[in-house]
Structure 1
Amino acid sequence: MTRSMTAFTRQEMQQPWGTLIWELRSVNHRYLEPHFRLPESLRDIEGHLREALRHAVSRGKVEATLRFVPEKSAETLQVDSTRLHEVLAATRDVRIAGVEMQALNPLELLAWPGVLVESTLDMREVKQQALVVFRSALKDLVAGREREGLELKQLVAQRLDSIGVIVAEIQKMMPQILQAQRDNLQQKLYELATGLDAERLEQEIVLMAQKADVDEEVDRLQTHIQEVRRVLEQKGPVGRRLDFLMQELNREANTLSSKSIVAATTRNAVELKVLIEQMREQIQNIE
């Protein structure tokens, strides 16, 4: 399926521990060029992200940005009961030894090292869910590229139809054009070369007619048109192949223009070049 290299998607997941937000955008590029913007706490999953992207996309500049907004309630202060009991046991030992002590202040107990601990968020689950959301966003990005690719395919097909009409018109006109050119050349040569051998004149006429013949160019144009249609129906990346075919089509259009002997052929050659350039601009966005 023909895919565009231009797309955008945004995926969000909310959990009790926070919110994950992925934004993926891609534009055309000759190769696959990924750029990841990740929070430092999630930086170590980048390898898995690159691997998933490489399997889903083959060309394009892809920017992937992850935002992680933790819930405030996800990180709380908790009392380490074991440590608290150890501190209380130590105070009882002091009393047994006969040392007078004032009543214990709860705030002082909480200030004792190790009694009050911060409940940290389990980042393993966050990383796992970040990968899940990324794969979902990547799937949506590919679907967007496929939708736009279908539109590009239709635009290219429309211009191929127009090129086919022009090529058929040139093919239809060529016998009459060549005959008119032959008659014109023959008349001029007979007027300019009254002493020239008749057989030599005929050879010159045939040689000039051969130089103006564009049958080979027309045949190659038709072959390239068929090949473009075939490539558009292929699966997988086809952009580079299509770009090469645009160069070949343009080459034949230039040759056709250089061999032009009447205004109608020149006009058709110019129209061909315009259509080919329009296709080339669309194909620059095809994966």
Structure 2
Amino acid sequence: MAVYSMTGFAAVQDNAPPAGHSCAWGLEVRSVNSRFLDITFKIPDTLRVHEAALRQLVTSGIKRGKLEIRIFSTHASNQAIAVPSAPRLSQLATAQEQVKAWLPHARELSVADILRLGGGADTGDSSSAPAWEPLQALAMQALKKLQNAREKEGQRLVLLLQNNLGQLRTLAAQAAPLIPQAVEQQRERFLLRWNEALGTAKAAQITEAMQERALAEATAFAIRIDVAEELGRLNAHLDEVESLLTKGGELGKRLDFMVQELHREANTLGSKSTSLELTRISMDMKVLIEQMREQVQNIE
């Protein structure tokens, strides 16, 4: 299955107005990332009757994202501009005089205002509104273009994520041989300091039980700084992310959870580090994981 981004844009428009209509209709849809599916319609009031059907059409193919759907009308270039009737012009003139009586500084009506208010331009009346079938076809065409754009962006995000996965695997491979060495160094350092302490103490005061306790403390400390388990879980999470990207579909929320787990392991690796090299590896991992977090935020 494909991986879809939540970011995209599509615009479609009728080439000519339907028979019996004075204007052609266009539809734009914009999509950005969101935790859930959030649809906003900017459409003429006469098309509100189709809003529920449009919403159902969108939800049948898109599961996440903040969508803004705008439907607009444009007059055909070969259509003559309809001039308002004389009675309508008289009504507008009377209305303007009444407004000016109360608001002397009000602006005079422009030609565009007269055409819009007088009915010469498209006012969204029911005679110019399209039926559901042509509007459905227009919406399906726009949604198909949007999904193509989201799929293309999703493929780009997959490539970026796979590149980050490869770099994280390289860093994990670099850290693996450093772990036994760091553990042994810390254990030897602990025992060295213990022996130095013994040299300054009286032999009579040193018991066998105290020596065993010191050795146990050194071993426990070595275990605490051993991050082999964290690296194992990190590699397992990387395998899971790669599997999800291969599978495709609706995986944005799952990927977001996996990125949190990756960050947890990388952070623990840094907190347990006893060498500059392991600290550097942990920092590099967290930078890559933060990049993945930003990319995953845009995946459906």
TM-score (normalised: structure 2): 0.76
The equivalent of 2:60 in structure 1 is: 55
SS in 1 for 2:247: coil
Residue number in structure 2 paired with 1:246: 259
Counterpart position of 1:232? 245
2:15 aligns with: 14
* Counterpart residue identity of residue 70, structure 2: T
**Hey, what does 1:175 align to over in structure 2?**
180
Secondary structure of the structure 2 residue equivalent to 1:64: strand
Which of 118, 127, 136 is the matching residue for 2:132? 127
Task: Report the Cα distance in structure 2 between the residues aligned to 1:48 and 1:121, rounded to whole angstroms.
Answer: 18
Give the 3-state SS of the residue equivalent to 1:30 in structure 2: coil
* 1:148-187 map, 5 Å: 148-187=153-192
**Which position in structure 1 is the counterpart of 2:110?**
none
2: CA distance, partners of 1:231 / 1:137:
28
* Alignment pair present for 1:215 and 2:223: no
Instruction: Identify unmatched segments of 5+ residues in structure 2.
Output: 84-124, 200-205
Match of 2:212 in 1: 199
1:245 to partner: Cα distance: 0.5
Cα offsets for 1:114-160 (capped at 9, x unmatched): xxxxxx98667543212111110001101100100110111111111
Alignment check: 8 A CA contact 1:2 1:235 kept: yes
Counterpart of 1:183 in 2: which secondary structure?
Answer: helix
Query: In the alignment, which residue of structure 1 is the partner of 2:288?
Result: 275
> 2: distance between equivalents of 1:191 and 1:3?
63
Residue in 1 that maps onto 2:115: none
Offset, 1:15? 2.6
1:193-218 CA-to-partner distances (Å, cap 9, x unmatched) read: 44363322221211111111111101
8 Å contact 1:75–1:121 — kept in the other structure? no
Cα distance in 2 for partners of 1:20, 1:189 equals 85
Aligned residues: 245
Structure 1 residue 266 corresponds to structure 2 residue 266: no
1:30 and 2:35 matched: yes
Q: Does the 8 A contact of 1:27 with 1:61 survive in 2?
A: yes
- What is the alpha-carbon distance in structure 2 between the residues aligned to residue 121 and residue 38 of structure 1? 13
% identity of equivalent residues:
36
Q: Offset at 1:19?
A: 1.1
Q: Tell me the alpha carbon deviations over residues 163-215 of structure 1, each in whole angstroms, 9 at most, x when there is no partner.
A: 11111111122122222222222111211244363322221211111111111
- Partners in 2 of 1:127 and 1:70 — Cα distance? 20
Which amino acid counterpart does residue 133 of structure 2 have in structure 1? Answer: Q
Gaps of 5+ in 1: 77-119
TM-score (norm 1): 0.80
Shift of 1:74: 11
Deviations 1:253-274 (A, max 9, x none): 1111111111111111111111
